[in-house]
Amino acid sequence: MERLFSIFSSEIGDGSSLVFTKLDFWLFFLLVMIVLSFLNKKTIVRSIFLTIVSLFFFYKTSGLYMLLLIISVTFNYFLGRRIFISKNEINRKFIIIISAIFNLFILGYFKYAYFFTASFNDMFHSNYEIINQFAKFGNSFFDNTPFVEKILLPVGVSFFTFQNISYVVDIYRKEINPVKNFFHYSFFVTFFPQLVMGPIVRARDFMPQLAQQSILTKVDFSWSIIQIVKGLIKKIVIADFLIVYFIDKLLFTETFTFEEPGFVYVIVMWAYSIHIYADFSGYTDIAIGLSRLMGFKLKPNFNSPYKAVNVADFWRRWHISLGSWLKDYLYIPLGGNRTGGIGSYIAIALIFTFLIFITQWWELLWIYGGLTIIYLLGIIFITDFKRFVHRDLNLIITMVLGGLWHGPSENFVIWGAMNGCALLVYKYWKRISFYENSQRIIAHFWKIFITFNFITFTRIWFKLDEARIGPFKESGLTDYKADKLPMELLNQITFHFNFSIDYFIKFIDTYHIPLIIMLAGFIVHWLPNKVKTFYEKTFTSLPMWLQIISVSIIILLVYQAIGLEQPPFVYLQF
């Protein structure tokens, strides 16, 4: 009872007790399911209950930022209704602009204020400081100053902001009607299994389910349990073990230098690729399983991304909900594959300026100048080439902003730009590639190998951004040194590869358990889909008592892999 009291107390926590891998969360979820079982036929009451539960869940992770979530939900709900009833097109455009400014301001202020200020100070040698005016205003009404004056990042702000934007935009486009009941909408935005890390849910997919009674069949129940168990295995056995006992031990040393031979870091980055996939897809597997148990279906967020045969195929398989959101609400409005306008040129100019601003690599001016000349020559001498220019600009804009969405750091911008450039190269390369449509096994293997290693290579910037925060920052690592780490690791891999059989054998002997787990993770990932479908159908067909015994044994074994350190989910920071 004491444990239950601590879970449901009003005390603000850091949210660590309510993550999917902790017992507290499962006690919390069990009680929610018990109450929910009595509300199956009362859809409005169900939405009210789950809104309250979700807001409480958010409160336990982000404290008084729950008020920000409530304001965001309320404001967008009424904007959506206002757009729908407005017959004047000018008024409709004005409202959608207000919605965009409001939502992007929330995201920009809480996620990027320090980043832009620090970049400005570095470039212009100024010393401006951030003041949280909202906290200062709130504290003026209270004696005990409850609002922290440092700007903190609310958990899940990137996800619930995008859901709010898509809802209002879809109403503006007349693709959906606004939801009539406020609590249906508040439940849609705050739904706790996907609130903090997605997947990003579209109103057109989720809203029709709100008026339906929840029916949990044996097949649905069994399928949900498979997803949850699969997610726990990915997170605890693969992701956590690899990051604690292998990846971070070799990448983040006390001296912050890369002293191992380059080939070791190639293996470490391979391990990081399976780690980040197991971590993020493990979360979404659990979220999707929990949602199905509660009677709601969420779309899959991953489709075996390391089976991708090119970069474009990879981004159709990885973080599907974010990719489709960026396509529908950024890439296509900019003009997509077909056209572009003044907005595309302004955006690309701002992005190029921004890249120079945050990196201070003035050499980029030569690259931009060269690309401008190449595209101008193409427009002059190649028929219909302007269409490709617009496509390329729109694609680069989308990928750079997609990188920035992941975090307020130049590393994420560089990572996004590299993937954008790779997509452009592929779109031209596939026109002349002699093996693009080859069905031969060796060609298929080669395309997967190249794609996987490129994606892994770009994640050097993604992973080493962690050196800027946490214990590494506290150990004295300066921002200047942290910014140089990706290039130093790349230099070690490129110029000090130093592969030798003796050292390789010693390396395997030292880290044999993490290497076995990494290899097992890749093997399971690359299994044919029909194998995975077979074991899901087999489990579903088992008697319930046998399913319970099987799951109990698996969970017991899985939790034996938990170490002293239990890293948070990677995408929790986004």
- Using one digit for the tens of pLDDT, what is the confidence trace for 75-131? 999 999 999 999 888 999 999 999 999 999 998 888 888 777 777 777 677 887 776
Most confident of 4-18, 337-351, 423-437: 423-437
The mean-pLDDT minimum among 294-303, 335-344, 465-474, 486-495 falls in 465-474
The mean-pLDDT minimum among 12-26, 74-88, 135-149, 330-344 falls in 135-149
Q: Look at residue 8 in the predicted model and tell me its pLDDT.
A: 63
Percent of the chain with pLDDT over 70: 89
Query: CA 152, CA 318: separation in Å to the nearest integer?
Result: 28
Q: Own/partner pairs for 50-54, CB < 8 Å, 24+ apart? A: 50/187, 50/191, 50/192, 50/294, 51/183, 51/186, 51/187, 51/190, 53/192, 54/187, 54/190, 54/191, 54/192, 54/195
Q: Look at residue 341 in the predicted model and tell me its pLDDT.
A: 67
Is 275 among the catalytic positions? no
Kindly give the interhelix angle for 385-406 and 364-381, rounded to the nearest 10 degrees.
150
CB atoms within 10 A of CB 329: 15
Q: Look at residue 280 in the predicted model and tell me its pLDDT.
A: 93
Tokens in use for 57? 């869940």
Query: CA 69, CA 190: separation in Å to the nearest integer?
Result: 8
**Confidence check: pLDDT of 275 > 60:** yes
- pLDDT grade for 228, boundaries at 50, 70 and 90: very high
Asked if 147 and 138 count as a contact pair (C-beta separation under 8 A), the reply is yes
- pLDDT grade for 242, boundaries at 50, 70 and 90: very high
* pTM of the predicted protein model: 0.90
Kindly give the interhelix angle for 218-232 and 262-293, rounded to the nearest 10 degrees.
150
Asked if 300 and 288 count as a contact pair (C-beta separation under 8 A), the reply is yes
Q: Find, among 267, 249, 263, the residue nearest to 492 by Cα.
A: 263
CB atoms within 10 A of CB 40: 13
Q: Look at residue 121 in the predicted model and tell me its pLDDT.
A: 76
Query: CA 465, CA 559: separation in Å to the nearest integer?
Result: 29
Q: Find, among 522, 518, 510, the residue nearest to 260 by Cα.
A: 510
CB atoms within 10 A of CB 430: 12
What average pLDDT does this structure show over 252-261?
82
- pLDDT grade for 274, boundaries at 50, 70 and 90: very high
**Confidence check: pLDDT of 515 > 60:** yes
Q: Look at residue 210 in the predicted model and tell me its pLDDT.
A: 86
- DSSP for 287-320 reads HHHHHHHTT-----S-S-GGG-SSHHHHHHHSSH
Tokens in use for 252? 């983040």
Query: CA 413, CA 419: separation in Å to the nearest integer?
Result: 10
Tally the C-alpha atoms within 13 A of residue 155's C-alpha that lie toward its C-beta.
Answer: 28
Q: Find, among 67, 72, 58, 70, the residue nearest to 18 by Cα.
A: 58
- What is each CA distance from 497 to 107, 255, 257, 355, 458, in whole angstroms? 41, 20, 15, 30, 18
Residue type (1 letter), 171? I
**Confidence check: pLDDT of 249 > 60:** yes
Most confident of 77-86, 330-339, 430-439: 77-86
Buried b (16+ CB within 10 A) or exposed e, 362-399: eeeeeeeeeeeeebeeeeeeeeeeeebbbbbbbbbbbb
Asked if 58 and 190 count as a contact pair (C-beta separation under 8 A), the reply is yes
Query: CA 388, CA 393: separation in Å to the nearest integer?
Result: 9
- From 406, 444, 496, 525, active-site residue: 406
Q: Look at residue 70 in the predicted model and tell me its pLDDT.
A: 94
pLDDT tens-digit map of 476-490: 677 677 778 888 899
**Confidence check: pLDDT of 574 > 80:** no
Query: CA 565, CA 573: separation in Å to the nearest integer?
Result: 18
pLDDT tens-digit map of 4-58: 666 666 566 555 567 888 888 888 899 999 999 888 778 899 999 999 999 998 8
Asked if 156 and 197 count as a contact pair (C-beta separation under 8 A), the reply is yes
- DSSP for 383-409 reads TTHHHHHHHHHHHHHHHHHHHHHH-SS
What average pLDDT does this structure show over 286-300?
93
Q: What's CA 99's distance to the chain center, in Å?
A: 23
Q: Look at residue 212 in the predicted model and tell me its pLDDT.
A: 82
**Confidence check: pLDDT of 290 > 90:** yes
Q: Look at residue 108 in the predicted model and tell me its pLDDT.
A: 85
How much is the mean pLDDT over the chain?
Answer: 85
Q: Find, among 323, 198, 282, the residue nearest to 20 by Cα.
A: 282
Tell me how long the chain is.
574
Query: CA 452, CA 497: separation in Å to the nearest integer?
Result: 19
By CB atoms closer than 10 A (0-12, 13-18, 19+), residue 78 is middle
Query: CA 335, CA 312: separation in Å to the nearest integer?
Result: 18
Buried b (16+ CB within 10 A) or exposed e, 499-524: eeeeeeeebeeebeebbebbeebbeb
